[in-house]
Amino acid sequence: MFDHKASKVGGVDVASFAEIAVEFQARIARIAWATVATSGPDGAPRTRIPHPIWEGHVGWIASTSGSLKLRQIVREPRISLTYWDPLHDNVHIEAVAAAPNPACQSR
């Protein structure tokens, strides 16, 4: 799970998710897949292509327990996500991720 309350749309920083919510939902619905970057133990970036599920400004990315992605997030919770399409519509998200508690594992 990660919580994103501010981001950039069209290269413009925004202070509140409400400012970009409609455009954000339209872009992620059309693009669907994102690139997410985490950090390895040596600080090197590691990217993968998940399909995040969003509930407002909270996003969910599936992972198996003990996966490399989850271990990296536990060690360094700051992540970066990018949605991009050939029309150059994009969304860039800097967020803090957290491993969900056991009650959330059925999501």
Q: Which CATH number is 84's domain given? A: 2.30.110.10
Q: What pLDDT does residue 7 have?
A: 52
Gap between the Cα atoms of 39 and 44, Å rounded: 5
What is the count of structural domains for the chain?
1
Q: 60 lies in which domain range?
A: 2-104
Q: What pLDDT does residue 37 have?
A: 97
CA diameter of the chain: 40
pLDDT higher than 70, residue 33: yes
Gap between the Cα atoms of 27 and 83, Å rounded: 8
Q: What pLDDT does residue 75 have?
A: 92
CA dihedral 81, 9, 83, 76 (to 10 degrees): 0
Average of per-residue pLDDT across 43-57: 93
pTM summary value: 0.76
